[in-house]
Chain A
Amino acid sequence: MKVTIDEDKCCGAGQCVLIAPEVFDQRDEDGIVVLLDAEPGADRHAAVHEAAAVCPAFAIEVSE
């Protein structure tokens, strides 16, 4: 799995961090997404898919 993020689209909602805190974080100053792990292990795939699905700005892309 490969995860990419689009900082321009991100609205700082933080939904991804709530669902997959090992993979995503937020910048302190403005809450924009920070990618911690671009190639997460299999045990995190379900959470990453859900994070991408609930992102209100559609700023997370996942490819297998």
Chain B
Amino acid sequence: MDVLIVGASAAGLSTAEALRRLGHDGRLTLLDAEPHLPYDRPPLSKQVLAGAWEPERARLRGQAQLDALEAEFVRGERAVSLDVAGRAVTTASGRVLRADAVVLATGLTPCRLPGQGGLAGVHVLRGLDHALTLRAHLTAGTRLVVVGEGVLGGEIAATARGLGLEVTLAGLGPAVLGDQLGPFVSGLLTRTHAGRGVRLRLGVAVEGLEGEGGRVTGVRLATGETLPADVVVVAVGSRPATGWLDGSGLALGDGVECDSRCRAAEGVYAVGDVASFHHEELGRRLRLENRTNATEQAQTVAANVLGADRPYTPIPYFWTDQYDVKIQAHGLPSPAAEVTVTEGDPEQHRFAALYREGGQVTAVLGWNMPKQARLLRQQVLVQPLTTA
């Protein structure tokens, strides 16, 4: 059997490794739009952006380990269409790659603000090249406006403060990570940012960008205020990179719609950020933009490609590091949940908390308490991670 994986980032590469580990000895091809060796994304907004790591350190695997996979890597070639019935992918250069099974792992495309394209000094952060370009502009004293109060926006603001920039964080939500973690934890995190000297403009819409001579000069808010900026980072979320699948016949909603086995069609699977799957324990569709999901889902996809019939029922899990705060969240925290601190003390900057909705524990969160949060995770009412 031949397997083609479209996208060679964490999810795609992990699927390839899992296929080999599970005994796949047929052809294995990985197609990726980027020219780089597979690299990891979480460090891009932290260690790489801070300049603490050279880009090579963010590589997922060394050359020897990639060679050991005995896979063909087709780099710098973008997939432009998929023939579902023929399991064939056409690339931008017109090359056609065929396989018995195709795994879609094309990830996300960052959302942009209207008018962003025409202005210098406005950045997004998704890939390694984005991070290196942005890094070159993050010099002490520079006025940076980060648009977006989610995980990425918060991490970029924290990194930039560490580099001595003047940072303003603007976002529609009421607090940093408010939509993800609810008022209690996001309130603490927002105060952490304020305490570190980040100027906050939260709960207000960004109306647009202002520029002069083709270069950004500020970010205009709905309140009428304009935030002066030398550099702007737009971190307002991402969309599943499914544009190339339009017209393929695959169901494309919020991502590639798969069944509980991560199968989008006969012989076609999706994995990682791009995959929307039916979670049997939760009884609903889920798409996770988490680093941990990329590798975990890859194990299930690889097994199913090789003939297993495993439902994918993860406990979602993400972490974020901002300043000296390490937050880890297991389950599905929601702003509506009731939050109870069960260990440690928020005043001491170290605690674990349970999120409850309708009397059920829906999530566990650790604030500088990763081990304790992990130990509490068994209380989350979805099946635990299982081994192959």
List chain A positions with a Cβ less than 8 A from chain B.
Answer: 11-15, 17-20, 26-28, 30-31, 46-47, 49-50, 53-56, 58
Contact = CB atoms under 8 A, between A and B. Distances in A.
B299 interface: yes
Nearest to A47: B387
B17 to A, nearest CB: 6
A50 B370 contact: no
B292 A54 contact: yes
Contact of A31 (B18, B299, B370, B387): B370
A31 B388 contact: no
Interface string B361-388: 0000010111110100100000011011
Contacts of A15: 292, 295-296, 317, 385
Given A13-B292, A18-B385, A58 B328 contact: no
A12 B370 contact: yes
A28 to B, nearest CB: 6
A53 B60 contact: no
A47 B21 CA distance: 12
B296 A26 contact: no
Given A53-B17, A54-B292, A54-B296, A19 B370 contact: no
A46 B303 CA distance: 14
Interface centre among A14, A26, A28, A30 (most CB of B within 10 A): A14
Contacts of A58: 40, 60-61
B300 to A, nearest CB: 11
Interface of B: 10, 14, 17-18, 21, 40, 42, 60-61, 291-292, 295-296, 298-299, 317, 319, 321, 326, 328, 366, 368-372, 374, 377, 384-385, 387-388
Contacts, number: 75
A46 B387 CA distance: 8
A13 B21 contact: no
Given A49-B21, A53-B14, A54-B14, A14 B374 contact: yes
Contacts of B369: 31
A35 B10 CA distance: 24
B328 A28 contact: no
A54 B299 CA distance: 8
A18 B369 CA distance: 16
Given A15-B292, A54-B296, A26 B371 contact: yes
Nearest to B46: A11
B371 A53 contact: no
B164 to A, nearest CB: 25
Contacts of A14: 328, 370-371, 374
Contacts of B387: 19-20, 46-47, 50
A5 to B, nearest CB: 15
A58 B18 CA distance: 14
B299 A26 contact: no
